[in-house]
Amino acid sequence: MGKTSPLELGQRGPDACQEVPMRTPKRLYAEARIIYHPELLTCLHCGDLLVLWNYLAWDKTVQTLDRRLSIATRPGHCPHATCPGTRLRLRSAEALRLAPPGSTYGYDVLVHIGWLRQHQRATYSEIHTAISARLAISEAHVRYLYQYCYLPLLACHERQQRGRLAQGAQAQGGLIIALDGLAPQGGEPQIWFIRDLATGLTLRSGWLAQLDQPTFEAFLTPLAHLEWPILAVLSDKQTGLVPAIATVLPRSRHQFCQAHYLRNLAEPLAAADASFKGELCKTVREQVGDVLRQDSRRPPGHVGGLTVTGLLPSLVEEAPALLGHPPAPSAAPTASAPAAERVISQLLCHTRYLLTLKGRPPLRLAGLETYERLHSVACMSLDLLAKRYNPRLAHLYQGLQAALAPFAATYHVLHRGAAWLRDIAYILEPVSTPP
Residue 300 contacts by C-beta under 8 Å, 6 or more apart in sequence?
none
- Spatial distance between the Cα atoms of 10 and 13, rounded to a whole number of angstroms: 6
- Spatial distance between the Cα atoms of 338 and 298, rounded to a whole number of angstroms: 9
User: What's the confidence (pLDDT) of residue 209?
Assistant: 80
User: What's the confidence (pLDDT) of residue 158?
Assistant: 65
Q: Note the pTM of the prediction, 2 decimals.
A: 0.45
What pLDDT digit, counting tens, does each position of 275-299 carry?
999 999 999 999 998 888 874 444 4
Cα 1 to Cα 4, 19, 22, distances in angstroms = 9, 8, 12
Exposure string of 155-179, with b = 16+ CB inside 10 Å and e = fewer, is eeebeebeeebeebbeeeebbbbbb
Beta-bridged to residue 68, according to DSSP, are 63
* C-alpha of 176 from chain center: 27
User: What's the confidence (pLDDT) of residue 186?
Assistant: 59
User: What's the confidence (pLDDT) of residue 334?
Assistant: 44
Asked: is 174-182+189-256 a CATH 3.40.1110.10 domain? The reply is no
Q: For every one of its 435 residues, what pLDDT tens digit does the chain have, with 9 covering 90 and above?
A: 444 444 343 444 444 444 445 555 567 788 889 998 888 888 878 888 888 888 888 888 999 998 899 999 888 888 888 888 787 788 888 888 888 888 889 999 998 999 898 888 889 999 999 998 889 999 999 999 988 888 877 777 667 778 888 888 888 888 888 888 876 655 667 778 888 888 878 888 777 888 888 999 998 998 888 888 888 888 888 888 889 999 999 988 888 777 777 777 888 888 999 999 999 999 999 999 888 887 444 444 444 444 444 445 444 444 334 334 444 444 444 436 777 788 888 888 889 889 988 887 777 888 999 999 999 999 999 998 988 888 888 999 999 999 999 999 999 999 999 888 888 877 776 555 444
Cα 435 to Cα 14, 33, 172, 432, distances in angstroms = 81, 60, 12, 9
